[in-house]
């Protein structure tokens, strides 16, 4: 019997969950579905500048799990950009944090008012 999948901690849902060519109609064969936990790895690693190990701590999963989630997310982003497919962000095995500082790490958007982690580092 396989181990049950561990829910990944996610600090916030995306403000927009659909991206793609402006004039595109959504065809069920021509869209990409990115899960919320895949989105969170892109946000933490590419936007916030986290290392995979720090991202894993934030999401409360193993670094190897983050690595595979991140690689899949980047593949989906590339397919959407290169092939002009609509990207939807929805679903996945995740749990939203409650926004309390003692549970969340420095990458949480909920208790920082949406500022970027690097802004906080620069102010010291």
Distance, CA of 29 to CA of 38 (rounded, Å): 21
Residue 108, domain extent: 8-19+29-118
In a domain, 61, yes or no: yes
Instruction: Assess if residue 101 is contained within a domain.
Output: yes
Tell me what the mean pLDDT of segment 46-73 comes to.
95
Q: Are 34 and 71 in contact (CB under 8 A)?
A: no
Model confidence pLDDT, tens digit, residues 21-55 = 777 666 656 789 999 999 999 999 999 999 999 99
Q: What is the pLDDT of residues 81-105, one digit of tens each?
A: 998 889 999 998 888 877 665 556 6
pTM, rounded to two decimals: 0.76
Number of domains in the chain: 1
Confirm whether 123 is domain-assigned.
no
Q: How far apart are CA 112 and CA 124, in angstroms?
A: 15
- Count the Cβ atoms, other than its own, within 10 Å of residue 27: 9
Domain-embedded: residue 103: yes
User: Could you give the CA distance from residue 27 to residue 96 in angstroms, rounded to a whole number?
Assistant: 30
Q: What are phi and psi of 26, to 5 degrees?
A: -85, 115
Say if CB 46 and CB 55 are below 8 A apart. Answer: no
Non-local (6+) Cβ contacts of 22 within 8 A are none
Which residues is 88 bridged to in the sheet?
Answer: 18, 33
Q: Is residue 68 part of a domain?
A: yes
Task: Indicate whether 24 belongs to any domain.
Answer: no
In a domain, 97, yes or no: yes
pLDDT of 110 above 60: no
Domain contains 113: yes
Q: Is the pLDDT of residue 114 over 60?
A: no
In whole angstroms, give the CA distance from residue 85 to residue 75: 13
Which residue has 């549970």 as its token pair?
103
């Amino acid at each position: 019997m396989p181990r049950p999948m561990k829910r990944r901690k996610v600090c916030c849902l995306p403000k927009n969950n659909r991206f793609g060519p402006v004039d595109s109609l959504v065809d069920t064969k021509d869209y990409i579905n990115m899960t919320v936990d895949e989105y969170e790895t892109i946000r933490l690693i590419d936007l916030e500048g986290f290392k995979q190990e720090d991202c894993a701590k934030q999401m409360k999963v193993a670094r190897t799990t983050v690595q595979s989630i991140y690689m899949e997310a980047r593949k989906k982003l590339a397919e959407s950009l290169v092939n002009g497919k609509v990207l939807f962000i929805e679903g996945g095995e995740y749990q939203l944090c409650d926004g309390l500082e003692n549970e969340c790490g420095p990458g949480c958007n909920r208790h920082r008012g949406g500022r970027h982690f690097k802004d906080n580092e620069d102010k010291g």
